[in-house]
Amino acid sequence: MFGFSKNKAKKKKQQDSSAGASGGGDITFAELIKKCEQSHDFVTFKKGVDHPFTLYYYKAMVNPLVIHQILLPQLIQHTDVSLKKLEKLLSLESTVYTNDVQKIQNSILTGSIFICSEHEKGYGILVPAATAEKRTISIPETEFSVIGPKEAFVETIEVNMNMIRKRLPIPELQIKEMRIGKLSKTRVAILFIDGIANKENIETVTQRIEKIEYDHIIDSNYVLQMITDKQTSIFPQLINTERPDRVASVLAEGKIAVLVDGSPSALTGPTTITEFFSSFEDYFLSWHVASFFRLIRLFGVLFSVLSTPLYVAVLTFHYEIIPSDLLGTLIASRSGIPFPPIVEAIILELAIELLREAGARLPSKVGQTIGIVGGIVIGTAAVQAGLTSNVLLIIVALAALASFTTPVYQMSNTIRLLRFPLIIFAQFWGMLGVAICSALLLGHLLRLTSLGRPYLEPIFPLRLADFRDALFRLPFNKQTRRPEHLLTQDPNRLNKQRVNKKDDIDE
C-alpha cells in the first residue's frame, strides 16, 4: 500500500520535472524573460533608454520585415500611447492584449513578438510575426504517377492544408487542431468532412492522438505508429500518403486524414488491406486498365511472398512436383552448387535486401549505379562462381521486382519481410510449412483492425458492394455509393438514377 503510494508520488514528481523541462508551471513574467534571455537568440529590444515600449522576441522565429516595416515606424511615431491604442494603430490582424504569462510564453516560442509598455505593468500585446521557411512544392517521389497531378505535400502544415482545401472548397471540410509532444509541441490537424465521415471514427482518431505521450513528434510516421490499432503488427494499418489529391479523394469517401506539421505526408484511415495495393493513378486510367493493373499487383504480391519459399520447399522435399522436362533445366542449373536450397535462397534474398538498402541510403545518382552494379555484376558473378543457381536468381529478382509494384512504401517493406518466416517454415516442413505459416498469417490479418474497422474488408466480412473499388475498380458511374465499411453518414455519392439513365435509341 505504502509502496504503491510512494511509487505514485515518484511518478508525480517525474511528471512535474518533465513539465519543468517543457517550461510550464506558474511563473511570473520577469522569471520568464530571465529564463528566455539565457538563450542568445532571444532579443530584448528598446528604442532608446527613455522609450516606453520594449519588444521581446526570438530572433530566429520572427519575420524581421514585421519589425522593420510595421512595428518600428509606429513605435517611433507614437511614444506616449497606451497599449490598447497602439494595438489599433498596428496594421496587423489577430494581435492579442494579454497578461497571461503562459500564453505569452507559448506565443513567443512560436514566433510572436511581445510588446510591453513601462506604464502598464504586466500587460502587453502579442504580435504574430512567425516566419517559416517553406520548401517549394515538388513532384511526388514515392507515389509517383505518370499522369495526374504532380503535387506532393511539403513540410509546412499550412501549405498542406491549402492544397487539400483547394480541392475541397466546402465549409463541411473541418480541421481539428491540437499540439502533441512535450518538447516538440507539434501541430497535428485532423481533417474530415462533416456530414460524411463517421462520427465514431473521428472520435477514435481524436482520442488516440490526444492520448499520445512522447517528448517529440517529428513526422507523421511517429503518429502513425502511436495511434495504430495493433502496434505489434508488421502490417501498416493506416495509409501514409504524400499526395494531396489522394487525401482529398479519400476525405470525400468519408475517411479521416491527419496532418502533422513538419511532415511531408498525411495519414488516412480507416483503411483496408486492398487499399494498400491500389495506386492513386488507378483513378486516372480507364477502369479496365486500372483493374488489370490492380490484379497484376495482387498477383505480384502473392508471387513475391510465396515464390522463394516454394522454391525452397520443392527443392528440399518435393522435387517430384517438377515435371521431368523442367527438372532437367533445374538440375543443370543446380548441379555444381555446394549449398542446400535454403542457404542459397537466404544468401540471395539478403543480397537483394542489401542492394535495396544501399540504394535507398545513397544519394539518388549513386544509388542507381549501385542497383545496376549489384544486380548485374554480383548476380552474374555469383552464378558463374557456382554459388547460386540461375533459376533462383531469376525467381529472387522477379520477387523483388514484384514487391516494388506495391504503391504504398510501408506495405512493400512488409511484403519483403514476410517471405523470411515463410522460407524458414518451408525449410522445416516443406509445402506443409508454407501452408501452416500462411494460416498463421491469415489468422493475424483477421485480427487486425484499422481504427476499429476490420482490416480484411471487403473479403471478410464479405461486403460485395465494396468490391467495386477493391481488387478491381469499376467505372465511375458504378461508384454510386461510398464504401460501406466506413459507415458514412451519407452513403450516397451521386444520384444513381440520373447517372445511369439510359436514353432510348434516337432520342
434 near other proteins, judged by CB under 8 A: yes
Q: Contact, 210 vs 177, CB < 8 A?
A: no
Which one of the spans 19-27, 218-226, 283-291, 433-441 is the region binding other proteins (CB under 8 A)?
Answer: 433-441
Yes or no: say if 218 and 184 are a contact pair by the CB < 8 Å rule: yes
Identify the residue among 222, 280, 303, 317 touching other proteins (CB under 8 A). 317
Complex with other proteins: residue 372 or 446, whichever CB lies closer = 446
| CA dihedral of residues 124, 128, 131, 137 (deg, nearest 10) | 170
Per DSSP bridges, beta strands 186-193 and 124-128 are unpaired
Pairing relationship of beta strands 124-128 and 96-98 according to DSSP bridges? antiparallel
Cis peptide before 244 (omega within 30 of 0): no
> Does residue 171 have a cis bond before it (omega within 30 degrees)?
no
> CB of 233 within 8 A of CB of 446?
no
Tell me how crowded residue 134 is: count the other CB atoms within 10 A of its CB. 11
Binding residue (CB under 8 A) for other proteins from 48, 169, 338, 443? 443
Residue 299 touches other proteins, criterion: CB under 8 A = no
Q: How far is the CB of 428 from other proteins (least distance, A)?
A: 9
Q: Which stretch binds other proteins (CB under 8 A): 57-65, 124-132, 248-256, 428-436?
A: 428-436
d(CA 253, CA 408): 19
- Quick one: which segment of 112-120, 211-219, 374-382, 437-445 binds other proteins (CB under 8 A)? 437-445
Stretch that binds other proteins, among 157-165, 242-250, 367-375, 460-468 (CB under 8 A): 460-468
CA distance 4 to 156: 45
**Binders in 321-340 for other proteins, by CB under 8 A:** 321-324, 326
Q: Smallest distance from the beta carbon of 320 to other proteins, in angstroms?
A: 5
Contact with other proteins (CB under 8 A) among 168, 378, 397, 431 = 431
In whole angstroms, the minimum distance from the beta carbon of 212 to other proteins comes to 26
CA 291/CA 413 separation, integer angstroms? 23
Rounded distance between C-alpha atoms, residue 350 and residue 354, angstroms: 6
Stretch that binds other proteins, among 242-250, 275-283, 334-342, 424-432 (CB under 8 A): 424-432
> Residue 43, interface with other proteins (CB under 8 A)?
no
Grid cell in block for residue 197: 465521415
According to the binding rule CB under 8 A, does residue 458 interact with other proteins? no
**Residues near other proteins, by CB under 8 A:** 317-318, 320-324, 326, 429-432, 434-436, 439-440, 442-443, 446-447, 456, 460-462
